[in-house]
Structure 1
């Protein structure tokens, strides 16, 4: 549980910091600047997936890992990242011509340097995750967020425009990488074992294919929006996505970082495995459902007060996007279970089985505009959750229907919260008061309804916070 606490501190602090930095940058920059960086997202994401190739996860899952395995992973990551940097460097003019945005040539040549920087720290993060040392990971991520954020804001203040976002990303990654090397105290040796690589890749290759598929699906909308719509439209889309990911992405990331090594360690104990797995599903729902609902209800004051009136077109997009991401944490736990028991082949099959659904949604919604695309996300994410939960249900008797049943009390408490917030904000004209009172009364009313319904998650969180307080005090 201490691992979960440190992982939560890491993700929440970093996401909160990035949220604040993003607000400051959005107030200074224009939507087009965010759209330009969004056009490059798919190229960077696919390259990063190739660099990682699922080998880090394979190393965590493997029980008989050696120093040679870590060195092999380091050499592979560095070699492949250098290759993809050169590939993107020379492909930059073609990417620029595709989007008809001349400034993209220089942007991608500089931004892709981040691939090499990230590759230098993959092994350190893997070693720390294996030992559940999330405290060091949290420190390095926090350092990167602060240094990168400050540099990005300074650049924006001095009118560097879209380059402010590039500076924020690269400087932040570099600061995090340097701190990881210093804090982890691991020095790589330049050893590459073909035997070691083959064993890792046998497991990681399925994750590589699944990762390429996931990143393509996750970023392909950026490609089409950047090609057929103004850069501002893509800017609104990426900002709606980043806002919703503050909560959904943070919770999913915490669960993935902690639950995978924990589930891996008990993969031979079915009773304990199911117990941990079901608790994580319920706990993720306990946080994500009320948070996303609250963001939807308070979307107008959030956008106007934090980002100014120039982002007003973001409001309806954000209201739909939060519900498109609401199943993300639960889906992440279901897929992590397959990886934890060594069934990366099933992980891949589950991911690929959703391809026809995604293609159909794209064909229907892309010609209709940004709002239609996000509504399509809502439908596909709900169906994808059912698909992701099918095999865990088949193996362990805790499938989508049982998971949804366990969420019913949380949904009831959330409905009570939603009615409270809606009635309260309906009679208030001030956006500031809507945000402050709606947010505070929303959280209090949700906890009150949870107490009335006697939700076990509320007791568990209370006990965990008390335990952590006592430990920190001692």
Structure 2
């Protein structure tokens, strides 16, 4: 028995360390390494937020939310799409890498300088002078991330995620240690700032240590124009997606107060933690995979249905269970003083579940060379949120913000599926069918955890029992899907 298990373990280890094989084998192998990277890093991110919630006041999270709003805004508004363009690129890769690297490095330098006046503007608008120093220091991260090894894109293009997983996990661990150590020492928002900058520095350093090839500064005008042509819709889409995702926090910070923004930010983080990171795993794998099959419509339709079934079945039941046990979860992970996060968190679980599916579909559109569809989806999201967010917050506060965000995400899903029917020449039945199993699983998982939450006596370990109940329901429902995925390596 032990010999047989050892043999199978050796076979699996050998499979995971190869780089050859069919497209299906590469997808499965990449899935393992990307999952290791994503769940390792984001497990540490979640642990970091839970630990810091007990060391720092909600106001610190509110200040960091406003600071990162400025950083993400500058980053996304100037998003070139060069990374995606390099992965999707059909021509010679080596001829374009130095141009992409140089443009990204110049962008990083420009953004680092730009964050100083942005910091003063944010501080004036929100009446928080401490934002000047926080945002200016956070801007230094652009200097490092902008000069990361562009050859990292080649490993993603070739569906080789092993070194990516190593880099991401080391960065996540280092960020956790820095944040907790400084929070313990200072009890201030600077713990969050230091961990953010440290992550950028370490990731860039590791990209040169672990990834072969050293880019040089050089610009080829023709190649630059090719990259910009592909990236223009991604640039526009990311600007709009930023406005859509940050609108709730931005308006709450202005209309309410920093403490309520802190509660909303924690609710948003927790509700998006499982779905967005599962989506990140699949998106990074399937983006290059879709690029390889973009001309084969039958294979494209079949792959889309399989991926939708997987992402929906993995995410939707988890979010249903989290919503059902929202009060117990917030109390267990964040402790006293965070009760006001429960209401928005419960509603944002809908946002998170649908967001995962929309995200994977967005990468699919990019992979098949139709980033314009992602742009139109982003336009619809922004316009809808800008119409709904202010009256929703006036009426219901942070709960209203969560409801507006969730409603808009549902409309995004429906419009995206409509576009799928057109580009893949598929019927509505074909694009909706993969969602039904996940819907039934969500009802079962949410119902089971809600009943358990009502029956179990309140205690410090109640959350442990609820997780066990969720596992007992969730694992048997998805075991068939897991077996199907594992057969891909054959």
Interval containing the TM-score (normalised by the shorter chain): over 0.9
1:344 matches 2:371: yes
Alpha-carbon distance change, 335 to 379 in structure 1, aligned in 2, over 3 angstroms: same
> Structure 2-normalised TM-score?
0.90
Give the match for residue 439 of structure 2: 411
Higher deviation after alignment, 328-337 or 127-136: 328-337
Query: Contact 1:42–1:220 at 8 Å: present in 2 too?
Result: no
Name 1:454's counterpart in structure 2.
none
The answer to whether the Cα contact below 8 Å between 2:274 and 2:315 also exists between their aligned partners in 1 is: yes
TM-score scaled by length of structure 1: 0.93
Query: Which of 407, 412, 417 is the aligned partner of 1:379?
Result: 407
Distance 2:374 2:140 in 1: 31
> Distance in 2 between the 1:4 and 1:399 partners?
29
Q: Tell me the distance in 2 between the aligned counterparts of 1:98 and 1:311.
A: 26
User: Which residue of 2 is the match for residue 275 of structure 1?
Assistant: 302
- Give the corresponding residue for 2:354: 327
* 8 Å contact kept, 1:301–1:431: no
**Structure-1 separation of matches of 2:308 and 2:82:** 26
Counterpart position of 2:16: none
Give how far 1:433 is off. 4.2
* Residues 252-261 or 412-421, more deviating: 412-421
| Paired residues for 1:168-179 under 5 Å | 168-179=195-206
1:188 to 202, 215, 224: 215
Determine helix, strand or coil for the equivalent of 2:199: helix
Displacement of 1:466 in angstroms is 7.8
In structure 2, the partner of 1:249 is 276
How far the C-alpha of 1:464 sits from its partner, in A, is: 4.1
Residues 1:8 and 2:29 are matched in the alignment:
no
State the match for 1:299 in structure 2.
Answer: 326
Q: Any gaps of 5 or more consecutive residues in structure 2? A: 1-27
Secondary structure of 1:342's counterpart equals coil
Tell me the distance in 1 between the aligned counterparts of 2:339 and 2:486.
Answer: 38
Distance 1:83 1:445 in 2: 51
**Which of 97, 116, 130 is the matching residue for 2:157?**
130
State how far apart, in whole Å, the 1-side matches of 2:77 and 2:454 are: 50
Unaligned 5+ residue runs, structure 1?
Answer: 451-456
Cα distance in 2 for residues equivalent to 1:124 and 1:217 = 31
For residues 97-116 of structure 1, the aligned pairs below 5 Å read 97-116=124-143
Question: What does 1:309-324 correspond to in 2, within 5 Å?
Answer: 309-324=336-351
- Residue 209 of structure 1 corresponds to 236
C-alpha distance in 2 between matches for 1:221 and 1:248: 19
Q: Distance in 2 between matches of 1:244 and 1:122?
A: 32
Q: Secondary structure at the match of 1:87?
A: helix
Q: 1:63 aligns to what SS in structure 2?
A: coil
What is the rounded CA distance, in whole Å, between the counterparts of 1:103 and 1:422 in structure 2? 42
1:64 match: secondary structure: coil
Distance 2:190 2:53 in 1: 13
1:38-91 alpha-carbon deviations (Å, 9 max, x no partner): 112332112212454111111111111332311111111111111121111133
RMSD: 1.9
- 1:236 has 2:263 as partner: yes
1:458 aligns with 2:485: no
Hey, what's the Cα distance between the residues in 1 that align with 2:278 and 2:473?
A: 21
| Number of aligned residues | 462
Query: Which of the residues 109, 112, 115 maps onto 1:85?
Result: 112
Q: Distance in 2 between matches of 1:388 and 1:204?
A: 20
Residue 61 (1) aligns with residue 82 (2): no
- The Cα offsets for residues 97-150 of structure 1, whole Å up to 9 and x where unpaired, read as 111001111001101111222212262431221121211111111111111110
Contact 1:7/1:138 (8 A) holds in 2: yes
Q: 1:290 aligns with which of 312, 317, 326?
A: 317
Q: Distance in 2 between matches of 1:431 and 1:378?
A: 31
- The question of 1:146 aligning with 2:167 is answered no
Deviates more, 1:54-63 or 1:42-51: 42-51
State how far apart, in whole Å, the 1-side matches of 2:391 and 2:475 are: 40
In the TM superposition, what is the alpha-carbon distance from 1:322 to its structure 2 partner? 0.9
